[in-house]
Structure 1
């Protein structure tokens, strides 16, 4: 069965029924015609789905003339994209210039010449269709680039974790815990999404730490601990200065996720609200995952034991309000633990730096 081809919709706006009938007779073979006898009716019909593909608009109408109607149509986000052709007996240069300045794509004088009308309507419908196709392609390409950007950041985060002999599941769990906490404290949806995408970069600076220090199985010396404390600054340098909101947040998390609420953290000794919110959230998420994940040097802590650690550190290592909010999310946290559990065959040895010892 052959599917019927849908005709483009043309909205004809004129206060004269005779003029509408003329335009209908000229165009109805190729187009689906809607008609309005006033500007107010035109505004209503233009917003009805399926919306018109093109509007033929008279200028001289009572109450709301064509110019005023055009302004209203262009100010409405739903209808501003619809091409408008003025069809009018007002032939002064000034009127024609006004029509174009208001956003019309063409200006046809009455009495209408059928060949000109048909050609102009066809041309502008074709141009509008191509513009819509181009816009769709641009949107698709933008989405693809955005997706690629997130994937690159995530893969860089995983590179840092593997550099530390850790699996990529840590950054997934840590990001999910932080995203959950951000939502719990009612951060805007776009901010929460930024965190989810930026958090995997929190330990990217470990790429710059020598193997002898980063992979040392035993306790670090004082000199080695000073070296490990440089990884936040290294991470910030790797991410660099950029106006992109995602990279701004990624840099803040990388640089400040080892700061402490009481000001005794590193690298800058920031305290309380001096520490960006995203980094305060990342600290809790990072430490919680380090506690509850088994390593070769320790067994996994229980959820309750890890909660007690966070509770004991509230007001010293951690933002106390964030700790309270995190502890209220136990059911969701257990879901994340279960969904992204560490395969026993991939347990890795890492330093205990996540705990801010």
Structure 2
């Protein structure tokens, strides 16, 4: 246990240093200049501070106030040594943050028990801190386990939809990363951008409820078949909406809103502009861009130039203009995502 002693009287320093040195495990660190002692106490973390009241330049009260101003030092016990028995001095010292007092001349029979009591208080504080840190670490581990299970659930839901849809795992990865890219370029919260990366793959989970003869049809859908296909956002929302997971709740919103159009001509609810949740507006751009530039059994992949022209033509009609601009304004990152997830997975 390190004990910082600050006193401008050399005789007092020698006396207290000797008293402390008699106890194994107690290490005195002495300072005759209060400013130097303050710098050391702020740069280190002593287990006990013993400071004189009457010192030139920086008295004991101001010394204590400056130590206590540092939040990391608010549980270090402080003994103030004073020749004064005036109550106001004691009141001021307690107000400043002193824990106990020693009256000069120092009595060894009083000094040792008070120091021992203060160090026992310090040990209790350290034990509490250790327990708190251990508990915080356990909470972090438990939280990460929950997040890992959420990610696994999301992945399995997305994979389940893939088995019934000609879209591929590479498409799911690309559109999710495009979505996160757009969120970041819109300067949305970093946690939100990470959440949309995890939630976007659930956008078409409602296709689990669409019959195969419609979902896998190579030709153009009839009006009746299109009406059934357009139910998949509501089906996906119903699958996901009651989850206690914030990520899956975000996935429910994406599933319901990613086919809405900025001009109100989309489905299922005909929402327009800012009435469409931002996550739906983001995923609409990311999903369509990757669908256009990906090969499907029913169409070849479009060139990047043709897909970009389609997005720009749809600004303000199909797509939120700021989401289109956010994707296209970081073209090098778009190409990096395409290269990274170019192979079907």
Residue 297 (structure 1) aligned with residue 292 (structure 2): no
Deviates more, 1:321-330 or 1:52-61: 52-61
Separation of aligned partners in 1, 2:17 and 2:228: 80
Say if 2:48 and 2:118, in contact at 8 Å, map to a contact too: no
Count of residue pairs the alignment pairs up: 323
Say if 2:154 and 2:248, in contact at 8 Å, map to a contact too: no
Q: Taking structure 1 as reference, are residues 32 and 159 closer, same or farther at Cα in structure 2, changes over 3 Å only?
A: farther
State the shift of 1:196 in Å. 1.4
Residue 152 (structure 1) aligned with residue 144 (structure 2): no
Separation of aligned partners in 1, 2:341 and 2:125: 54
Stretches of structure 2 that go unaligned for 5 or more consecutive residues are 103-109
Separation of aligned partners in 1, 2:6 and 2:239: 63
Q: Taking structure 1 as reference, are residues 244 and 145 closer, same or farther at Cα in structure 2, changes over 3 Å only?
A: closer
Aligned to 1:30: 25
Say if 1:177 and 1:336, in contact at 8 Å, map to a contact too: yes
1:12 match: secondary structure: strand
Aligned to 1:353: none
Aligned to 1:352: none
Instruction: Give matches, 1:12-23, under 5 Å.
Output: 12=4, 18=12, 22=16
Deviates more, 1:135-144 or 1:52-61: 52-61
State the shift of 1:89 in Å. 7.2
Say if 1:36 and 1:42, in contact at 8 Å, map to a contact too: yes
Aligned to 1:72: 69
State the shift of 1:25 in Å. 5.0
Aligned to 1:85: 77
Q: Taking structure 1 as reference, are residues 257 and 72 closer, same or farther at Cα in structure 2, changes over 3 Å only?
A: same
> Any idea what the Cα deviations from partners look like across 1:294-321, whole Å, max 9, x if unmatched?
1222211111111122122222111223
Residue 112 (structure 1) aligned with residue 106 (structure 2): no
The normalised TM-score by structure 1 is 0.73
Residue 52 (structure 1) aligned with residue 31 (structure 2): no
Instruction: Give matches, 1:160-171, under 5 Å.
Output: 160-171=161-172
Deviates more, 1:23-32 or 1:158-167: 23-32
Separation of aligned partners in 2, 1:173 and 1:64: 63
Separation of aligned partners in 2, 1:326 and 1:255: 22
Say if 2:6 and 2:32, in contact at 8 Å, map to a contact too: yes
Say if 2:3 and 2:28, in contact at 8 Å, map to a contact too: yes
2:77 match: secondary structure: strand
Q: Taking structure 1 as reference, are residues 68 and 286 closer, same or farther at Cα in structure 2, changes over 3 Å only?
A: same
Stretches of structure 1 that go unaligned for 5 or more consecutive residues are 1-7, 347-357
Separation of aligned partners in 2, 1:233 and 1:38: 74
Q: Taking structure 1 as reference, are residues 171 and 40 closer, same or farther at Cα in structure 2, changes over 3 Å only?
A: farther
Q: Taking structure 1 as reference, are residues 63 and 190 closer, same or farther at Cα in structure 2, changes over 3 Å only?
A: same
Q: Taking structure 1 as reference, are residues 86 and 229 closer, same or farther at Cα in structure 2, changes over 3 Å only?
A: same
Aligned to 2:322: 321
Q: What is the root-mean-square deviation of aligned Cα atoms in Å?
A: 3.8
